[in-house]
Structure formats: C-alpha cells, structure tokens
Amino acid sequence: MENQRSIESDLGYLLTRAGMLVVRATNEALAPLELRTRSYTALSLACDRPDGVPQRQVAADMGLDPSQLVAIIDELEQRKLVARTPDPNDRRNKLIVATAAGRDLCAVAARRSAEVTERYFGSVDPAALDQMREMLGQAVFPDTDRILR
Amino acid sequence: MENQRSIESDLGYLLTRAGMLVVRATNEALAPLELRTRSYTALSLACDRPDGVPQRQVAADMGLDPSQLVAIIDELEQRKLVARTPDPNDRRNKLIVATAAGRDLCAVAARRSAEVTERYFGSVDPAALDQMREMLGQAVFPDTDRILR
DNA sequence: TATTGTTATACTCTATAACTATA
DNA sequence: TATAGTTATAGAGTATAACAATA
C-alpha cells in the first residue's frame, strides 16, 4: 500500500468518490418518495428491528452524533412512518418503531436503492462484491462478528 | 443483489459509512499540515500533472462543481502550494501547477493519508484490495481504461 | 455521576443560477 | 453560441457544547 501512481488509485479517494456518487444517485431515486439517503437509512434501521431501536443506536449505526438524528426522526415521525415509543425498561430511551406505512414505504425505497447499486456494481462478479461488503463491514464495524447477507 | 437481510449489508450504506470514516480520519491526520481531505486531494491532483491541470479538470476529477473549487484553490494559492498559471493555448483556462513547496507538503500528506488507509484496510489481502480499487474505479470512472497502481 | 434525547450554534459541504472573459 | 472561471445564495451535512429528564 506504500507507493501509488496517483491519487486516483488511492483507496480513500475512491471510497469517498463512490460514496458521493451513490448518495447523490440514491437521493435522486428516493426524491419521489420524499425521502433522502439519510431518512431512508434511519427508517430502514427501524424496520430491521420490529421491537424498536433506541434513537441513540440509530445514530451510532449511521455514524452520526445523536443530536443529528433529532430532525431526521422528527420528520419521519410527523409523516407517521415511525413512532417514538417510551421504553418501559428505561424511560430515558425512546424506541424508534416503524409503522405499517413506514415498512411499506421502506420496501419501495429499498427497491429503488437497490437499483442504484445495480447501476454502479451490477456488472461485477457477485463473489467479489460480497468480498467488498465484507472488507467494508470490517472497516466500519470492527470487532464485530458479522454475518453478511 | 436482490434480497438483503438488513441495511447494514447494503453496499451503498457501507460505501457511505466507509467514506465518512476515511474522510474524518484523514482530516484529523492532515490537520497539523493545515490541509483537509478536499485541499489535499486538489493539491495531489495538481502534483500528478507537472505541466498543470485546468481548474475545471480538478473539479471533474473530484466530482465537484467548478464553483466549489474556487475557494479550495484560492487557499492553496495563497499558501503558495500551487499557482494559477495562464494557459497559452486557451486563455480561459487557468492551469493549476504545484510549486516545489506544494509537492513537498503533498508528499508528507500522502504518507499520513496512507497511514489512515492502512489503519482500516491494512489487515486485508492485498489482492482483494486491488480488486476493490478496480471495482470502485469502474464505478467512479466508467468507460475509462484504467491501469491502477 | 452518567446517560438519553434535545436545543443551539458555527462551520463545511452541496447544489444552482448568473456573471465575465475568452473562444 | 459555447466554455472556463467566478460570485452569490440557499440548503444539507458536520462538529461541539450545554441542558432537562432519568438512571
């Protein structure tokens, strides 16, 4: 990893550029649903846990400060896509729970999001893609035993 | 690519998270040099072409609108790390040329940047890393014959 | 004391439109 | 008329500090 011919073969540069590309394309693809990449990701994380997930956990999963989640969840809640429900075990927590409407919209959004990924990575070997997911997962969530897919 | 267990195995999500991580860590690593990921990337692109590169080309390579480059190049120019030199062939162009000081600082920054990449991806198989670079390069620069490394 | 969600604030990045000088 | 660089502006994302309620 020592020598590189130019910044254009630098992994950090490529990751940043690819991330920008995907976020932009996903924002466009989700615009008709009045979702952005951010709000879709938060909604999706709520849909992954039917019993609800503390707001702080959503922030951690998104790599954001908890304060940045407030407005995102506010909007999803106003649209009745999620609810902030009190956690009976710890009243400091607010569990973010997806509503039926939230799950329905998330399913539509997930399809559109997958089309974006397909556009950029559809032509490459699925095994190589899985390997990339694994590498990125290790970088983003270290010391986690992850079973992808 | 159709079904996925959760957003956490979604390639777009992983790319975005990994990109955030690398940009943040690189910003920290470059802070002592008074560079950020953005200004380092622009400087590096200038260093890659000793004869200079039109400002518009730097913007394209970074995936930015040309207007977003103005302030970045302004700062590099004030610090005498690059110069805006007139293009004799087309006086609309300003060729961004790295100075000797710019090349020196870029070399230091490149080492620090590589340490960041090493931190997140140092433990994975170099061949798999090359394959990831190839996949990302294809996504970011399609219809380009690229020889990486 | 420590933690969850929240408010507030400042800064950086993103996205567009319009202007100027050159072609 | 088209293109390179620039200015201006609004909106989205990032980074911190501090506060109330709860543990």
| pTM, 2 dp | 0.92
CA dist B95 and B46 (Å) reads 9
pLDDT, averaged per 10 consecutive residues of chain A (149 residues), comes to: 72 97 97 97 97 96 97 97 95 97 98 96 95 96 67
CA dist A50 and B55 (Å) reads 50
Q: Does B60 touch chain A (CB under 8 A)?
A: no
Question: Which residue ranges make up each domain of chain A?
Answer: 7-139
Residue B149: what pLDDT? 46
Residue A112: how many CB atoms within 10 A of its CB?
18
Q: Does A16 touch chain B (CB under 8 A)?
A: yes
Chain B interface test: which of A6, A7, A112, A130 (most B C-beta within 10 Å): A7
The residue written with tokens 């600082």 in the block is B105
The protein footprint on chain C, as nucleotides within 7 A of a CB, is 3-8, 12-18, 21-23
pLDDT tops 50 at residue B74:
yes
- The domain B7-121 having CATH identifier 1.10.10.10: the answer here is yes
B82-113 confidence digits (pLDDT tens): 999 999 999 999 999 999 999 999 999 999 99
Which of A48, A62, A139 is the closest to B120 by Cβ?
Answer: A139
Residue A5: what pLDDT? 67
Residue A147: what pLDDT? 57
pLDDT tops 60 at residue B148:
no
pLDDT tops 80 at residue B147:
no
Q: Does B48 touch chain A (CB under 8 A)?
A: yes
- The domain A7-139 having CATH identifier 3.30.420.40: the answer here is no
Measured CA angle at B3 (ends B1, B6), to 5 deg: 110
B13-45 confidence digits (pLDDT tens): 999 999 999 999 999 999 999 999 999 999 999
| Residues B135, A121: C-beta atoms closer than 8 Å | yes
